[in-house]
Structure 1
C-alpha cells in the first residue's frame, strides 16, 4: 500500500507483535553491555573532566546517547513501516525531517568518544606506539567505509530511506568499495573510527565507550534492522 509521497506501509508490520519484535534482545543487550562497560570504566575514573563535565558524566552521556539514538531509530522505522507515521506528520518532508533528527545523534557518537578521551587522555595501559599504530591502522577501513557510503550508498539511503520510499527499495545491493568486503560494512568497519579516536587519544574510558557503541549497534541490527529487512525484501 503506498501513498502520494511514495512511503510504503507494510500490513504485516502494523501490529504490536512486530513493533516489539527483537526488542527484548535490544533491551537485554542495553542492560548487559552497560553493566560491562561500567565495570570496565569505573576502576580508571578519577578527577578528569572536559568542558566542565567529569569522566563519569561523559561515560553516562555516551551510554544515554547511544541507547536513545537506537531507541529513536526503532520507533521511527517500525512506526513508518506499519503506520507511516512520519509521513502522516510531515508529508513529503518525512525523510528530510528524519535525516535532520538523525544527523545530530550520528555526529554526537564520535563527539562523546572524543570528549571522554579529552577528559581522560593517556590512561590506556598499552605502550604509546602500539596505541598510535593500531589507531591509525583502524582509521583506514573506517574512512574507506565512510567514503564508500558517500560514493555508492548515499546518506538518505544509509539512514533508512527504504523505510520511506519505494525507490530505495528498488535499488540493487551495493557491492562496491567497502561493501565488496561485507554487505554490512557500516556496522562492521565504520565503527572502527571510534576505536581509532580512543586509541589516538590513549584513553581507556574512550575505548570502553567505543567498544560499547560498536557492540550495541549489533543489537540494533539483529533486534530492529534485520527483522525489518526480512519484511521489506522478503529475505
Structure 2
C-alpha cells in the first residue's frame, strides 16, 4: 500500500526513540517527580508523547489516503480539507498545551537559575516566533496544513518559498518553530518537559524524512512511489 511507503522506518525510529526516553527515565527519578491537579507527571508525559504520535499518524493517514486515493474528498466532498484542518488544529494545539501542563507538574527539577532560564527562553523565542511569522506570511497556513496533498495538480508547479526564515533554510518550521516547544521546560526548569520537547523535535524529523519528503517528491514530480 502506498500509504505505508517508508513507514517501517518510521515505526523503527519511533520505537528507538521511545526506548531512549524510557532508558533516561529509569536512571533519573527527578524526571517523573511531581503532579498537577492530582495527576502524576508520568501521566502528563505519557499524554504529551501519545498525542504527538496521534497527531503525526493522523497526518500520515489523511495525507496519503487523500493524495493517492482521494479518500477524504470522495467521502467528505468539498469539506474534506476543512474537516481535516479542524482535527489537525486541535491536535497541534495539544502539543504546547500538554507540554506546559507537564512542565508545571514537574517544575524546578533542574536548577539553572531564573535569569539564565529567561535568557535561554529569549534565545529560543526569537527564531521560533520569526519562523511562525514566516509560515503565516510567506509559506501560507493552508500549505503548512498540507493542502498540496488535497490539490496536487494545483501545487505541483509552485516553487518553494524563499522568503522570511525560508530564505535561510528550506525547512524553517521544523528547525525553528518547534523551538517554541522547548520554552515551557526551560521556563519552569522541568526535566520531563525538556525530554518531551526533545522527543517532539526528533519525531517531527522522522515524520519529515519518512512521510513528508517522499510525498513532496511525488507531488512535485521528482520521483514516484513503487
Q: TM-score when scaled to structure 2?
A: 0.92
Root-mean-square deviation over aligned CA pairs: 1.5
Report which stretch shifted further, 94-103 or 31-40. 31-40
Match of 2:150 among 159, 164, 167: 164
- Work out whether 1:37 is the aligned partner of 2:24: no
- Asked if 2 retains the 8 angstrom alpha-carbon contact of 1:145 and 1:185, the reply is yes
- Work out whether 1:222 is the aligned partner of 2:209: yes
1:112 Cα deviation from its structure 2 partner: 1.2
What is the rounded CA distance, in whole Å, between the counterparts of 2:167 and 2:24 in structure 1? Answer: 35
1:46 Cα deviation from its structure 2 partner: 4.7
Match of 2:194 among 207, 211, 217: 207
Report which stretch shifted further, 34-43 or 134-143. 34-43
Structure 2 unaligned segments of length 5 or more: list them: none
1:78 Cα deviation from its structure 2 partner: 1.1
Matches within 5 A, 1:1-235: 16=1, 18-42=2-26, 43=28, 44-165=30-151, 166-235=153-222
- Asked if 1 retains the 8 angstrom alpha-carbon contact of 2:32 and 2:192, the reply is no
- Asked if 2 retains the 8 angstrom alpha-carbon contact of 1:41 and 1:208, the reply is no
The count of residues paired between Structure 1 and Structure 2 equals 219
Q: TM-score when scaled to structure 1?
A: 0.88
Report which stretch shifted further, 88-97 or 47-56. 47-56
Q: What is the aligned partner in structure 2 of residue 10 from structure 1?
A: none
